[in-house]
Amino acid sequence: MKKKYDALKLNQTRTSLVVFMESYNKSIPVSFPQASVKILKKFQALHPILFRHADEWSIDRHRKRVMDWLPSYNDIS
């Protein structure tokens, strides 16, 4: 039970962009596009409503949205 609680706490913890990026890149499938600081800053600029707490990221709030957005961003760039 403690492992589930620790994982939940980790996913909800607000972190910096760099910490989020490292965690995100470790947890996605190998074939999926990797996130970079530049890409995440672009995501942040396009989705300001998701960043009510300034420059804080969380796996729980942002991971799925970045995963959905990232392939379309790579198609444009």
**Segment 58-76, tens digit of pLDDT:** 877 888 899 999 988 765 5
**What pLDDT sits at residue 6?**
52
Q: How far apart are the first and last CA of the chain?
A: 43
**What pLDDT sits at residue 26?**
92
Q: Distance between CA 60 and CA 33 in Å, rounded?
A: 19
Residues of the chain scoring pLDDT < 70: 1-12, 74-77
Tokens of 33: 């596009």
**What pLDDT sits at residue 53?**
72
**What pLDDT sits at residue 75?**
57
Q: How many CB atoms lie within 10 A of CB 61?
A: 17
**What pLDDT sits at residue 65?**
92
Detail the DSSP E strand segments found in the chain.
none
Q: How many CB atoms lie within 10 A of CB 50?
A: 15
